[in-house]
Structure 1
Amino acid sequence: MNDFQPMRTSEEATADRPWLASLVGVHDANTITLDLTKFVAGVHYEAGNLLQPRNVLKSGLPLGRLKASGLYAPYSGPVSEVQTVTVTGAPTGGTYTLTFSGQTTAGIPFNATAAQVKAALEALSNINPGDVLVSGGPHPGTAVVVTFAGQYMGDDQPQMTASATGLTGGTTPAVTVATSTAGGGASASDGTEVLAGFLATESMFAPGSTKTSGALLWFGEVFADKCPIPFDPTDIGATAPGVNIHYR
């Protein structure tokens, strides 16, 4: 099922498009076809409801062009660093610490949740709120997974180190850190690793549709950190021919 609609772009106010830094280029947006099977509800589009039954793709989505079909899908960009923190030896008390780029956290409880590990890391002077996404846990039974985001998104990061000297109980308690995914490498090879531009306006489609039309902004200025999928412009290694985007 496909859902194609007439597309129209104009030089409108930027109030409802906070990612758009300049109106230059808006009227030159190209009509494209989007592969809706590659988009995720809640991430790339808002699902419809009783009052508005159609799904709505968010404006400002970074897009790439699929080699196989020529359709457009979310830009994949370079992969972000993922590190896993594991507590072993079944400690029953105490704390451990993590060190990232010379900065060491305060004591993290032996049974810490993902939220507690995140708070400890974000308290460091070199990690801002939003620079790490933390899942898994709680310790000591389940490892905690740290994904670098924000200013560290898409970059290779030094592996954190850990100190277990504050842990008590159990049998020789220890903390290990392992890099499960090194940052900086290409996350795809289907064409979406090349930035083609941005979805210039919201695009509505009916649930169940596999394709729809959209408008591609390929020339202009954007605020990269205000796009629906924030990214670091310095990580962009390749753009489609003719793409001339200035990031602010």
Structure 2
Amino acid sequence: MNDFQPYSYTDSVTADRPWLASLVGVQDTNTITLDLSKFTAGVHYVAATNPMLQSRNVMKSGIPLGKISASGLYAPYSGPTSEVQTVTVTGTPTGGTYTLTFSGQTTAGIPYNATAAQVKSALEALSNVNVGDVTTAGGPHPGTPVTVTFVGQYLGDDQTQMTASAAGLTGGTSPAVTVTTSTAGGTASASDGTETLAGFLVDAISFNPGSTKAAGALLWHGEVFADKCPTPFDPTDVASTAPGVNIHYR
């Protein structure tokens, strides 16, 4: 099923484009077709609340896009991958703390049974990590590893692997903490053409659940607030753009 009806909304045009630096007119756009199968509910669009009543999914404006080489359709830009490291506590400790060291800075003690949120807070307390520079998942320790994804100022960059000290852990049998790199940062996550930035989705659009394609407008020349786009990316990591694309960042 294809859906080529643009989304109509009651807010002003500018209100829908907080990512666009120049709010006076959008001239440099092309009509494109989106491959809806490549977009993710909750990330790129708000899913219909009741598909049985023919509610429509709403795609966010400002999504960075790439062009799929094989089909000529557009999909989310898949630029450099962010680093993911996994912190694992072994030896079933029953008390104490451990520390993580990132780029020469060492955290305060992290509880042996820390949640993902506690690991995040400990890292964000470092002088070289801002709030929002890491996301965490998994846990709690010691039974379940915690993954640390580097975003914010470290988005899309290769990172030196953190080190850990288990000296403060107690109980259990030879408790230890290891850090491994699950995903190395800095390499493109795709090779289908979407690793090249083509531009940004100008307007929010809506489409029927089950649709496979929808029309949109591509901003290929303009000035963009990268940190206000609905899906995060680091403009300094954009290694290549399509011929003729000239995106200015601010």
TM > 0.5 fold call: yes
Equivalent residue of 2:16, what SS?
Answer: coil
Query: Does the 8 A contact of 1:118 with 1:132 survive in 2?
Result: yes
Show the counterpart of 1:46.
46
In the alignment, is residue 215 of structure 1 matched against residue 217 of structure 2? yes
Provide the C-alpha distance between the structure 1 equivalents of 2:18 and 2:6, rounded to a whole number of angstroms: 24
Q: Root-mean-square deviation (CA), in Å?
A: 1.7
Provide the C-alpha distance between the structure 2 equivalents of 1:171 and 1:25, rounded to a whole number of angstroms: 66
The number of equivalent residue pairs is 245
Amino acid at match of 2:206: M
Among 141, 157, 160, the alignment partner of 2:162 is 160
Residue deviations 1:119-166 (CA, integer Å, cap 9, x gap): 111111111111111011111111111011111010001111111110
Amino acid at match of 1:129: V
Runs of 4+ in 1 over 6 A off after TM superposition: none
Provide the C-alpha distance between the structure 2 equivalents of 1:72 and 1:219, rounded to a whole number of angstroms: 17
Show the counterpart of 1:79.
81
Amino acid at match of 1:151: Q
Over the matched positions of the two proteins, sequence identity in percent amounts to 80
1:18 Cα deviation from its structure 2 partner: 0.7
Show the counterpart of 1:188.
190
Query: Does the 8 A contact of 1:25 with 1:217 survive in 2?
Result: no
Query: Does the 8 A contact of 1:61 with 1:228 survive in 2?
Result: yes
Query: Does the 8 A contact of 1:218 with 1:244 survive in 2?
Result: yes
Please give the TM-score of this superposition, normalised by the length of structure 1: 0.94
Equivalent residue of 2:178, what SS?
Answer: strand
Equivalent residue of 1:42, what SS?
Answer: coil
Amino acid at match of 1:36: L
1:52 Cα deviation from its structure 2 partner: 8.2
Query: Does the 8 A contact of 1:25 with 1:220 survive in 2?
Result: no
Which ranges in structure 2 are unaligned for 5 or more consecutive residues?
none
Query: Does the 8 A contact of 1:164 with 1:174 survive in 2?
Result: yes
Provide the C-alpha distance between the structure 1 equivalents of 2:148 and 2:20, rounded to a whole number of angstroms: 31
Provide the C-alpha distance between the structure 2 equivalents of 1:171 and 1:245, rounded to a whole number of angstroms: 56
Provide the C-alpha distance between the structure 2 equivalents of 1:230 and 1:112, rounded to a whole number of angstroms: 27
Query: Does the 8 A contact of 1:221 with 1:247 survive in 2?
Result: yes
